[in-house]
Structure 1
């Protein structure tokens, strides 16, 4: 009887130990991360160098890639809130991607746009990359820009992304060719170009209209690009879209070129939805989430 009691106690202790071990193993599993939104995150010393960050639930450094939105405004105006309309769609259609909606330092008489605004995008990407473990993201990116923001996005990918972290560029009515007669034929254009360029950042004798035109920066290292233009745009001529389309064809870069009825993005609602859908298709292909 005594021997039987010892055996029962022994197995009871063993079962209890195994049960506790399983509980401890379960407790060591990392809890699933909740969705997190951080507004006006600083990425530099200038008060305009801020972005809004939308991190999805269950994110990880193995799968959570990033969609960056870049607003327009002629390099001198605009705000990240101008791109807020895109965020609910992205969260619905791409719930496992992170979203970053950025401001950059707007050009004025003391602060030229170029190359500073390209470098602002670089600073954002460098910050996100350095914080990948803290944020639990995989630093591969899509850049989606509108108007001046599209120009900045194209220039960054074509000229400032040697590590190929950007996988897609969405160009919504972006200026692509400053040698186009639409610009070069304007008597005020040389003055505007001089105001936008930090001449000290470029070698003497630089042909700024060419160096700052994405159409001349396309190479076989350029990322897949989506182009969206209006057929009666008073600010960016359709010829700019056609020129970039031709350059991407020559370089054999996967791209699409879509023309809508209307002007500078003021298109019919179904055309806006079509644009979003096409961008989503490229995200699914080139910025896919690995399970």
Structure 2
């Protein structure tokens, strides 16, 4: 009798456990599209170097079908700078484009024995590859817009024009970025050959390649280049206005959508408040046109 009672209890418990599991599964199925909370992930590693990190801002209510990603790339002459320099852009995007994910990246800075090119282009590619691999986990769609300032704009342009073979990048915002190192502004500088030797890993490119051309995005534009928005100063002592003009002409030749705006002043640090507002509004429109979301 005792044995029969124990068997009855075991049988009853097995039915209870199966029923409980089924109930939980049904509950999960009833909420497959639960609204995800906003999340901020700081210093996410994408490599072994301490500089290979990014901050990721994931919006509330994100879905893999409709949450695209804007990547910010800081400047600093390829040898300095930090993602914190892009904090203002992070704030603007979170306020005005709150349905996008934002990745604000660092990359390995150039130094003696550590060339910038192509390493920094490849670092941006590593970020994009990692975000793409984690699209299910993060609930993002791996389509990207790039916003770069100065050296960061150069890195962004080069990545899109040369390395984005899968066409994941849908637009590039170029704010005072160098685009043509064959420009007399650089080529006539007696120190430029040494700077080029310092910045470029010649072993990564074909032998006898013209390295100044090879790392100049204006000279790498093709029919596959993404829509590009350009902002330059007319008295820039670091990046000449002619670099913007050359890039715009190359994009026009290929029939690539672009917008080119020139402000009075230098490398962006002395532009007027009205100019900064104009940049913000034009950039907002460009994002909505070339990296659109289909909000239901």
Runs of 4+ in 1 over 4 A off after TM superposition: 23-27
Match of 2:277 in 1: 273
Match of 1:123 in 2: 126
Shift of 1:31: 2.5
Deviations for 1:195-227, whole angstroms, at most 9, x for unmatched residues?
101111111101001011011100111000000
Distance in 2 (alpha carbons) for counterparts of 1:278 and 1:53: 24
Match of 2:164 in 1: 161
Match of 2:173 in 1: 170
Structure 2 residue aligned with 1:282, among 283, 286, 290?
286
Shift of 1:92: 1.4
Structure 2 residue aligned with 1:67, among 70, 74, 82?
70
Structure 2 residue aligned with 1:55, among 55, 58, 69?
58
Distance in 1 (alpha carbons) for counterparts of 2:29 and 2:200: 58
Give the TM-score, by structure 1 length: 0.91
Match of 1:187 in 2: 190
Deviations for 1:265-288, whole angstroms, at most 9, x for unmatched residues?
121112112111111111111111
Structure 1 portions without partners, runs of 5+:
1-19
Q: How many residue pairs align between the two structures?
A: 271
Shift of 1:26: 8.0
Distance in 1 (alpha carbons) for counterparts of 2:180 and 2:32: 53
Distance in 2 (alpha carbons) for counterparts of 1:47 and 1:103: 9
Deviations for 1:120-160, whole angstroms, at most 9, x for unmatched residues?
00000000000000000000000000000000000000000
Distance in 1 (alpha carbons) for counterparts of 2:293 and 2:238: 36
Distance in 2 (alpha carbons) for counterparts of 1:179 and 1:164: 27
Shift of 1:29: 4.0
Report if aligned partners of 2:145, 2:170 keep a CA contact under 8 Å in 1.
yes
Distance in 2 (alpha carbons) for counterparts of 1:162 and 1:29: 34
Distance in 2 (alpha carbons) for counterparts of 1:54 and 1:26: 28
Question: Secondary structure of 1:171's partner?
Answer: strand
Match of 2:19 in 1: none
Is 1:255 matched with 2:269? Answer: no
Structure 2 portions without partners, runs of 5+:
1-22
Question: Secondary structure of 1:159's partner?
Answer: helix
Match of 2:7 in 1: none
Match of 2:3 in 1: none
Distance in 2 (alpha carbons) for counterparts of 1:202 and 1:163: 21
Is 1:88 matched with 2:91? Answer: yes
Distance in 2 (alpha carbons) for counterparts of 1:183 and 1:28: 59
Q: Is the alpha carbon distance of 1:31 and 1:159 closer, same or farther for their aligned partners in structure 2, counting shifts above 3 Å?
A: same
Distance in 1 (alpha carbons) for counterparts of 2:211 and 2:187: 12
